[in-house]
Amino acid sequence: MKRIFNHLTMTLATAAALTACQPQSNGIRLEHQGDTLTIVHITNPTRYLILPIQESCNEGKVKLITGSPADMAMDVRLAVDSVEYYVPFALPQGAKEATVTIGRVAANAICWDSIRLADTFDTTNTDYYRPVYHHTPLYGWMNDANGLVYKDGEYHLYFQYNPYGSKWGNMHWGHSVSRDLIHWEHLDPAIARDTLGHIFSGSSVIDKNNSAGYGKDAMIAFYTSASDEHGQIQCMAYSNDNGRTYTKYEKNPILTPFDGLKDFRDPKVFWYEPAQKWYMIVSADKNMRFYSSTDMKNWEYLSQFGEGYGVQPNQFECPDFVQLPVDGNKDNMKWVMIVNINPGCPFGGSATEYFVGEFDGKEFKCDTDKSVTKWLDFGKDHYATVCFSNTGDRTIAVPWMSNWQYANVTPIRQYRGANALPRELSLYTKNGEIYMAANAVKETEGLRKGTTPVNDFTLADEHLVSPLATGAEGACELEMDITPGKAQATGFQLLNDKGEKVDIYLDMKAGRLVMDRTQSGLTAFGEKAEPHAKETDDHRKTESVNYINDFALGTWAPLSLCEGKTYHLDVFVDKCSVEIFVDGGRIAMTNLVFPTQPYNTLRFYTQGGEAEVKNLKVHQLGL
């Protein structure tokens, strides 16, 4: 007993020696317990504890202590030797004191000199590359769109969100709403990371028949909780205030993999009228699994689809399943399985493919052979595409506009991640095959603040449109009809005064539409990138990546998808992106660009023959 007592005395003495307290300053007192833990004592808490961030640092563990088993530590890259930006950490309101513990951050880190209290957090834009008219978070990281749903005149856009830094981590469901798909109001995160894990992707529906028992027209969200401890499990939450706040189902999870599968995520739920049941599709490694339910809580396995389908190798993610008329004929309906894959993009990294076929209430059967791959978009920055529910006859999809090869290191600080323009989906036939078109929604016409028409011209060599009449910061939409004639190639370049350019052309010899961004501006962002491994803590690992090979490239699409000898191009240019829609979305192509000043000139050119450019309009865009 004496030996134990002496040992305890020595331990306490050692702990006291390692504990260093800093004087209270502006309501904060820091208690460093060695180099592994700091206790932040706060008197009269304000709304936020402002945390200084350095992205190259390892993640610390920041936890608000309330005494509840639900207290959850967030992963935050607190600044060690330089501060790059700040993020807010919410504190309890009305309390006289608050305690926050911060682990894995050295006692001599610079963050301790900069941490402070505040009642406000300034979200005024500080990023040069923040888009003019695309949706982005006010601050922090954003990737996949989640839970897209329309209700009472509002489009709800939830998204994978890290409020504590502009790199992947701490997955919450961020939340924005819009009445027109172009003007977005930012709201507080709707579903927060908890002790079951990160809140991964999922879907939302309107429970018109009160199937789940939370009230008629309750909004029900389905998502994946992901952690090393619990794996990937499907959960649900409900909202009775039009999606502003959610209550998590007390008996979560509602579904776990019957075979212990590691990759089991991203539930898509929809109402299947013939069976009078709710159906769920879950990404299960390289398959999509179908389940059904009458109460949204108890799910029965039905079938699976996908093994060996499409481009290989791949990892299936973020499914969607929609029924569309072929060529507008409602008597000829087809089901379409949208599958987001990583890797698998023909240009490297992540992309979106789809499969057209029949569904009998149990199994989906694809119309084409396993080897056939159909792409929803032919750019490199189009991923995690999912559709709004409850939109009637319209099928509206929203992609994430980035690529997992470099998403964590794009030249942005305050926020990172944007959505591409919403697209309306439809089916059309070409040469006996059914394809899906993705065209910019008609609501984008509301972005137009003015239009400058350009006279038709025959292109024999080159033709300049300068200065290009754009909106604020180069934001514009270019509409035109190009008839290549006998030219081997014809197209145009978006240029700025520094010679940076995006080259867009019809390569008639190869039968391709090409967008070349090799000289578009910034194309190399560093020496290392964090690969996509969101299902575990492996996202902290790094691998060598040559960004010149990953980013500075051209993407292409087959012109065989289009009609006739004249091509209608609709091109949307924003601060850091170019999106092309050809012939009503038969070809869609989405790419990020980072010019160091806005493009202000159009240079048309042709090779090997004359071409015609007609109906050219330059729309100035803005919110």
- Digit-coded pLDDT (tens) for 81-97: 999 999 999 999 999 99
Write down the pLDDT at residue 115: 97
Annotation marks residue 144 as catalytic? yes
What is the value of pTM for the model shown? 0.93
Write down the pLDDT at residue 21: 61
Write down the pLDDT at residue 23: 53
Write down the pLDDT at residue 2: 36
Q: What is the pLDDT of residues 497-510, one digit of tens each?
A: 999 999 999 999 99
Is it the case that residue 7 has pLDDT exceeding 50? no
| H/E stretch holding 433 | strand 433-440
Q: What is the pLDDT of residues 430-463, one digit of tens each?
A: 999 999 999 999 999 999 999 999 999 999 999 9
Write down the pLDDT at residue 534: 36
Q: What is the mean pLDDT of residues 286-297?
A: 97
Q: What is the pLDDT of residues 555-590, one digit of tens each?
A: 999 999 998 899 999 999 999 999 999 999 999 999
What is the chain's mean pLDDT, rounded?
A: 92
Is it the case that residue 539 has pLDDT exceeding 50? no
| H/E stretch holding 12 | helix 2-18
Residue 418's CB is within 10 A of a number of other CB atoms, namely 25
Write down the pLDDT at residue 100: 98
Give CA–CA dist 280/283, Å, rounded: 10
Return the structure tokens found at 227. 């952690």
Domains, in order of start, for the chain? 18-118 (2.60.40), 140-440 (2.115.10.20), 446-517+553-621 (2.60.120.560)
Angle at 214 between CA 212 and CA 218, to 5 degrees: 95
Is it the case that residue 18 has pLDDT exceeding 70? no
Q: Note whether 485 and 143 are within 8 A (CB).
A: no
Give residue 16's pLDDT band: very low, low, confident or very high (50, 70, 90). very low
Write down the pLDDT at residue 312: 86
487 forms beta bridges with none
Lowest-confidence segment of 21-30, 164-173, 271-280, 416-425 by average pLDDT: 21-30
Is it the case that residue 493 has pLDDT exceeding 60? yes
Lowest-confidence segment of 182-186, 539-543, 586-590 by average pLDDT: 539-543
Is it the case that residue 60 has pLDDT exceeding 60? yes
Write down the pLDDT at residue 195: 96
Determine what percent of the chain is predicted with pLDDT higher than 70: 92
First to last CA, the chain: 75
493 forms beta bridges with 503, 603
Is it the case that residue 11 has pLDDT exceeding 90? no
Q: What is the mean pLDDT of residues 580-601?
A: 98
Q: Which is the catalytic residue, given 75, 127, 144, 377?
A: 144
Phi, psi of 14 (to 5 degrees): -65, -45
Give residue 298's pLDDT band: very low, low, confident or very high (50, 70, 90). very high
Write down the pLDDT at residue 602: 97
Give residue 12's pLDDT band: very low, low, confident or very high (50, 70, 90). very low
Write down the pLDDT at residue 598: 97
| Those residues with Cβ within 8 angstroms of residue 360's Cβ, 6 or more apart along the chain or in another chain | none
DSSP E strands in 27-138: the ranges are: 28-33, 37-43, 48-53, 60-65, 74-76, 85-90, 97-103, 116-118
Q: Note whether 619 and 132 are within 8 A (CB).
A: no
Write down the pLDDT at residue 529: 38
Q: What is the pLDDT of residues 309-368, one digit of tens each?
A: 999 888 899 999 999 999 999 999 999 999 999 999 999 999 999 999 999 999 999 999
Write down the pLDDT at residue 36: 87
